[in-house]
Amino acid sequence: MTDTARKPRRNRKAEILDSAAQCFMERGYHATSIDDVAQRLGSTKGRVYHYYGSKTDLFFDVHRVGMQYLFDALDPALATPGNGATVLHAMLLAHATAMLDHHTYESVVAQGVQVHRFNATTPDQRQTMQDLIDSRDRFEDHFKRRIQAGIDDGSLHPTDVSVTAKVLLGGLQWSIFWYRPRASDTAETRRRLARKMVAPLMQGVHAAP
């Protein structure tokens, strides 16, 4: 039995997703082919097609995993004790850290549903597209609720909740364009950078002393 055959199925699929995320990040959806993914994987495109019927399906799955990373990071932050501003700070820090820790996947997530809209051709793909849109909306809603809570308890100054949530998340998402992972990066250096990213955003929404 070969090493590939002995690998758990989920590990083989994860390797495909990792390679695809890298390709989509570097080339974008339209310029990436299944051949590109297979080449980066060091395999044949038949291995990719064994798990995914099309490039669109593969892109959807990379997006889905990227969103799951964000939700997983956010869950502990939601349980942070304190007022609205304290919890929002924890949420933004968790989100920023996840953006850095999973840079390739989050770059694909940031390509957005516009890519999906024009490439979802089957009923299953259209349903998946809607599920991903709903997932992004649920994620943003967590921040909207916490911003509103901070306004209500006086720890955040009154503002348009929807616009503020989009601006805060967009500010952190912009890191996909300027952050370049280095071999010397560690979990601590990424978290330190995340704190620097969040600080000016929180200064903009904190209630005046």
Q: How high is the pLDDT of residue 119?
A: 63
Candidates 176, 174, 158; CA nearest to 166 is 174
Q: How high is the pLDDT of residue 125?
A: 77
Record the pTM: 0.87
Domains of the chain: 55-205 (1.10.357.10)
Torsion 56-61-66-71 (CA) sign:
positive
Residue ranges of the chain whose pLDDT lies below 70: 1-10, 112-121
Q: How high is the pLDDT of residue 173?
A: 92
Q: How high is the pLDDT of residue 10?
A: 55
Residue 108 tokens, joined: 């694909």
Q: How high is the pLDDT of residue 195?
A: 97
